[in-house]
Amino acid sequence: MTDERKNRATGRKTIRTSAIPRELITPNPDLKDVWKAKVITLFPTAFPGVLGESLTGKALQNGLWQLETINLRDFGVTKHRNVDDTPAGGGAGMVLRADVLGAAIEHAMDGTKGTWPLIYLSPRGKPMTQSLMQDLSHADGITLICGRFEGVDERVLDHYNVQEISLGDFVMTGGEIAAFALIDATVRLIPDVLGNQASTEDESFSAGLLEHPQYTRPADWQGKLIPEVLMSGHHGNVAAWRQAQAQAITRTRRPDLWATYSKANFPIKPDR
């Protein structure tokens, strides 16, 4: 371990007691005052996955954020550690049991402090948005429930006041992929993760618009040139061009976003 890594870790570990057997406890120590994602899942080995690569992976190694997986199977009942059962009232598929998921939630939320949302990744939840990710990045941490099968017992969602959040208007086999997306979109907003925080200030959705087109070298590729204004060195003209492009793209591709943006930025003046 380098001196730099040692300095990062100094004074940041926290210790808490737990009634959960040691084999159920994630071996990674908590880092004090560091944003943390806890993920309740049947597939803990799927993590960190892509989150362990590139900038999010480097930030994870450097202690800018933390990840803990809670294996739902460890809280299963009977000798087979069952986590689901048939739907009450009949029907196809299986439903995650309230007693199993409840025990996993209790374990995951034990010791959490401050603002710590409990989120179930569900197609019937409110959609993920940039503003939501910004809010989550300012929390102390989050706990995500990755569903499987036909979903979870509704009593768990009611009892723990769980927020339901959706990746989109479609159904997947489980919540893990949605968890990757939510964590990635949130972690990149944490200070120092991207290195240049300005990167998050001029991109799609941050100002209510889709992002303007981007270009880089070579200046001439297959007869297609970089727009002349971007090569002019005139920062004011560049900014104006980018704003106009962002507005045009948003107006064409996302009329819903454009309507909201227009209402806020180009209010209709009442007739005198």
The model's pLDDT over 100-151, given as tens digits with 9 standing for 90+, comes to 999 999 999 999 999 999 999 999 999 999 999 999 999 999 999 999 999 9
Look at residue 267 in the predicted model and tell me its pLDDT: 83
DSSP state of 90: -
CB-CB contact of 187 with 193 (8 Å) = yes
The model's pLDDT over 174-189, given as tens digits with 9 standing for 90+, comes to 999 999 999 999 999 9
Look at residue 120 in the predicted model and tell me its pLDDT: 98
Instruction: Measure the CA–CA gap between 251 and 257, rounded to whole angstroms.
Output: 8
Q: What is the DSSP string of 125-164?
A: EEEP-HHHHHHHHTSSEEEEEE-BTT-B-HHHHHHTT-EE
Is domain 3-187 annotated with CATH 3.40.1280.10? yes
* Residue ranges, CATH 3.40.1280.10, the chain: 3-187
Hey, which residues does 152 pair with through a beta bridge?
A: 96
φ/ψ of residue 37, rounded to 5:
-110, 125
SS3 category, 269: coil
The model's pLDDT over 69-97, given as tens digits with 9 standing for 90+, comes to 999 999 999 999 999 999 999 999 999 99
Which of the four CATH numbers 1.20.1740.10, 3.30.70.2740, 1.10.1270.20, 2.40.10.10 does domain 207-265 have?
A: 1.10.1270.20
Look at residue 113 in the predicted model and tell me its pLDDT: 95
pLDDT-derived band at 24 (thresholds 50, 70, 90) equals very low
C-alpha distances out from residue 28 to 13, 34, 63, 69, 184, Å: 10, 13, 11, 10, 20
Instruction: Measure the CA–CA gap between 92 and 253, rounded to whole angstroms.
Output: 39
* Residue ranges, CATH 1.10.1270.20, the chain: 207-265
Look at residue 30 in the predicted model and tell me its pLDDT: 81
Q: Is 50 a residue whose pLDDT tops 80? A: yes
The model's pLDDT over 188-199, given as tens digits with 9 standing for 90+, comes to 999 999 986 645
